[in-house]
Structure 1
């Protein structure tokens, strides 16, 4: 079941998302038993181990060894907790910020973003169950946008954000699929290659070569020799390469026509 971020009250969620900015330390009173960071970390651990549905306020409280009502002192509801969890995981990719070391070439910078995003979904497959159409507007979310945009300085301003969104959409779609694969392998205990192998009778008993000539030609040429997981890796590399080629050509054209004086980094 898909859950949606962005349905929370901005007056409640934004201070929580940006809790580390301009922090004011209390000078009096008993120190709190927990922190929001600890609650969020516990929620992520529960979701990693047992899935997003298991990350209820009650389960997270049990993980922390406190009463369920205690959590509401730190996080108003589970909806806010999920948004905080998502933004925390997005930030865990540690994408280089301004002034931080990064690969020299812009394409390598995009590949770093892609690799870390796919690894993130593999490590936290429950992310596939959260729609980010209306994203949590926290530091993890904005760091992603800032990083991808920063790689595209050679494009004209009119198309820079469009290119960044296109890259993000493509990479996230592939990463979500990898996350779904990871979740399915965990719950079923079976790899994709094994699943297809056990259905091998399809090709002998029901496959009609006359109705599928393109597939048959490709099969006879060895085009289906690779397993589905390997094919997915190749397809992602192929698609991302074509996408970056197109962006690079646009940047070179913009430079030639005077729309931008500096080339892609």
Structure 2
């Protein structure tokens, strides 16, 4: 499946749009709602455009959230749409950061569990649920993320969880990045799996079943002794979803065990 990258828009325009609702007393000239000038009062807002883009991507896939597709959905001309969002690059950043902000992560001063591992579980649960609501997110590379309030809220939350563990500042940041990398990558793969099933109309288990001849005709037990040993010991799960759930849980638990061990050293 094709992939797009966030962080490709013009920095000044992207930042102004990402933080449009988070600046106090911004001069009218800076507000990105619509270019100023004579004419009718705008019937749309940037929020309307972003919300519609997300809905189109949810329902029809990321490609549907093009500038032309959005203009048609909103019943405006494409050139009119460009007065709200400069290009598809800025639009993508706005969409990604908006769904990142959907996660119910406790902010400063808000109640949260006492145990730090339970707090990490909130990040894990909310992030996986976000990817499941917006499967298209698995098609977006965030190596250069949208530096908006949604992204920063996730970073702030994990750092706040780990800040009191007695790690150095560098270790705290590294541990938070490790959790983000693991959870976000795994959640993205899970969403991509669901996206493929939706696009093809075939489950992953059915796909593997069609290739059962691999084991009967081509699999050489002498060249794959470790796989054979696991097979005879009933070490493989019965479905790909069970395999993912077990491996995800195992990986996250071991990662948190390692952070806990660093805390004691």
Q: TM-score, normalised to structure 1's length?
A: 0.90
* Residue number in structure 1 paired with 2:85: 75
SS in 2 for 1:151: helix
Evaluate the alpha carbon distance shift between residue 17 and residue 23 of structure 1 in structure 2; reply closer, same or farther with a 3 A threshold.
farther
Gaps of 5+ in 2: 29-35
1:121 aligns with 2:122: no
* Residue number in structure 2 paired with 1:259: none
* Residue number in structure 2 paired with 1:230: 242
Rounded Cα–Cα distance in structure 1 between residues aligned with 2:101 and 2:218 = 48
Alignment of 1:242-257 (within 5 A): 242-253=254-265
Alignment of 1:97-246 (within 5 A): 97-153=107-163, 154=165, 155-246=167-258
Gaps of 5+ in 1: 254-265
Rounded Cα–Cα distance in structure 2 between residues aligned with 1:91 and 1:61 = 25
Deviation at 1:67, TM superposition (A): 1.4
* Residue number in structure 2 paired with 1:20: 21
CA deviation map 1:146-172 (0-9, x unaligned): 011111011221211011111100111
1:4 aligns with 2:5: yes
RMSD: 1.7
Deviation at 1:104, TM superposition (A): 2.2
Deviation at 1:242, TM superposition (A): 0.6
Rounded Cα–Cα distance in structure 2 between residues aligned with 1:43 and 1:158 = 38
SS in 1 for 2:162: coil
Q: How many residues align?
A: 252
Deviation at 1:89, TM superposition (A): 0.7
Do the aligned partners of 2:237 and 2:243 also contact (CA within 8 Å) in 1? Answer: no
Deviation at 1:25, TM superposition (A): 9.2
Do the aligned partners of 2:197 and 2:203 also contact (CA within 8 Å) in 1? Answer: yes
Rounded Cα–Cα distance in structure 2 between residues aligned with 1:37 and 1:16 = 10
Deviation at 1:24, TM superposition (A): 5.2
Rounded Cα–Cα distance in structure 2 between residues aligned with 1:204 and 1:107 = 44
CA deviation map 1:119-169 (0-9, x unaligned): 111111111221111111100010010011111011221211011111100
